[in-house]
Structure 1
Amino acid sequence: MTDISDRLSFSSLQSKWGWFVALGVLLIVCGFIAAGNIVFATVASVYYVGMLMLIGGVVYLVHAFQVRTWEQVLFWALSGVLYVLAGVFAFMNPLLASAALTLFLAIALLIAGVFRTWVGWRMRPLKGWGWVLLSGIITALAGVVIYIGWPVNSLWILGLFLACDLLIQGWSMLAFGLSIRR
């Protein structure tokens, strides 16, 4: 039974191959636009994060008045206010917000890289452990490089990550769409 549903699912995907190709092309074009103006892409990514924080803050505030006890209302309302303030801050001063986000990115990459390196080292008896170790070292080094260049690089790091993500996603959607066409 799952074989039939898998074939039907693939068939419905296959009939939409053009949408995947169109999405891929659109994402690639957006990636090139972002790569052409990295500072603008950085500001756009800060505005995106700011909008998400504003929406999250409003949801927290609405949720705050759905809970029963005063302690919980206070906790959720304070969380919501902090999210809203952070979102407003991102819109009021996107360059300073990009500096903060870039610093957080550097710290997150460093921590993730150190953790992945440790996991890779612990996997030593298993085949392929070196790839996990190498990936952790590269991730940690990326965090260190970003931290060393901070705050100056905060004008372009987020935009570069956005451009790379758009290009990679675009190429993958394009390749997927073309592969299911056949």
Structure 2
Amino acid sequence: MSINKPDIGQMRRLVTTSLHEHWVLFLVEGIILVVLGLVAIVIPPIATLAVEILLGWVFLISGIAGLITTFWMRQAPGFWWSLISAILGIAAGIVLLLWPLSGILSLTLVLIAYFVIEGVASIMFALEHKQELSGRWGWMLASGIVDLILAAIILLGLPGTAAWVLGLLVGINMVFGGSALIAMALHARDIGPRSAAPAH
């Protein structure tokens, strides 16, 4: 029984053609992301509150869905763990929605912990693998140090930094993501059907 191997060239041509046909959609999406990102950077407290409320709804809805699924499949193994997980999700969602300021502070503390863990891990990895990383270990070491500095700045600025740091980081992420989409869209616009056609 023979197995037909996928034609990589044909798959690439299909992807290229699809990108070319829908480049305007990617461009619009990228522009929207950049605009929203810039707004978040200019007024980070509002963006921070929006992120907190969004996470609250995500936790609440996923918790309710998990609760329904748990009781629907109550004969399946791990019932109690699934039930506890769903209840915690609902509780977290309610807390974030009813007490947004406390939720923002909690999320900021989680962000600080992430920066500390990421920074320590990067520094340890860079120092332990100097030879394997060759000239790149310095960049990883610097990245870890920057993570720790960011964590210290946010921590020392509490509770004031909690009002803007999440919104600022989300805004920066949206600007970079939107810029990448815009670049991809403009590149896809210039790739016509001829360039997607197979070479003879």
Report the equivalent of 2:159. Answer: 151
Report the equivalent of 2:44. Answer: 38
- Aligned-residue CA RMSD in angstroms? 1.7
Amino acid at match of 1:57: G
Indicate yes or no: 2:26 matched with 1:20. Answer: yes
| Greater radius of gyration (CA) | 2
- Offset of residue 109 of structure 1: 0.9
Stretches of structure 2 lacking an aligned partner (at least 5 in a row) = 1-6, 191-200
- Offset of residue 78 of structure 1: 2.0
- Offset of residue 180 of structure 1: 2.1
Q: How many angstroms apart in 2 are the aligned matches of 1:95 and 1:116? A: 32
Stretches of structure 1 lacking an aligned partner (at least 5 in a row) = none
Equivalent in 68, 89, 92 of residue 98 of structure 2? 92
Q: TM-score when scaled to structure 2? A: 0.84
Which aligned pairs between 1:121-140 and structure 2 lie closer than 5 A? 121-125=127-131, 126-127=133-134, 128-140=136-148
Amino acid at match of 1:67: R
Query: Could you tell me whether the CA contact under 8 Å between 1:107 and 1:147 is conserved in 2?
Result: no
The number of aligned residues is 181
Q: How many angstroms apart in 2 are the aligned matches of 1:163 and 1:8? A: 33
Report the equivalent of 2:63. Answer: 57
Q: Which secondary structure state, in structure 2, belongs to the residue aligned with residue 68 of structure 1?
A: coil
Equivalent in 170, 173, 180 of residue 178 of structure 2? 170
Could you give the per-residue CA deviations for residues 20-56 of structure 1, whole angstroms, max 9, x where no partner exists?
Answer: 1111111111112222321111110001111111122
- Offset of residue 68 of structure 1: 2.1
Q: Which secondary structure state, in structure 2, belongs to the residue aligned with residue 150 of structure 1?
A: coil
Q: How many angstroms apart in 2 are the aligned matches of 1:96 and 1:121? A: 38
- Offset of residue 132 of structure 1: 1.7
Q: How many angstroms apart in 2 are the aligned matches of 1:72 and 1:9? A: 42
Q: How many angstroms apart in 2 are the aligned matches of 1:63 and 1:114? A: 39
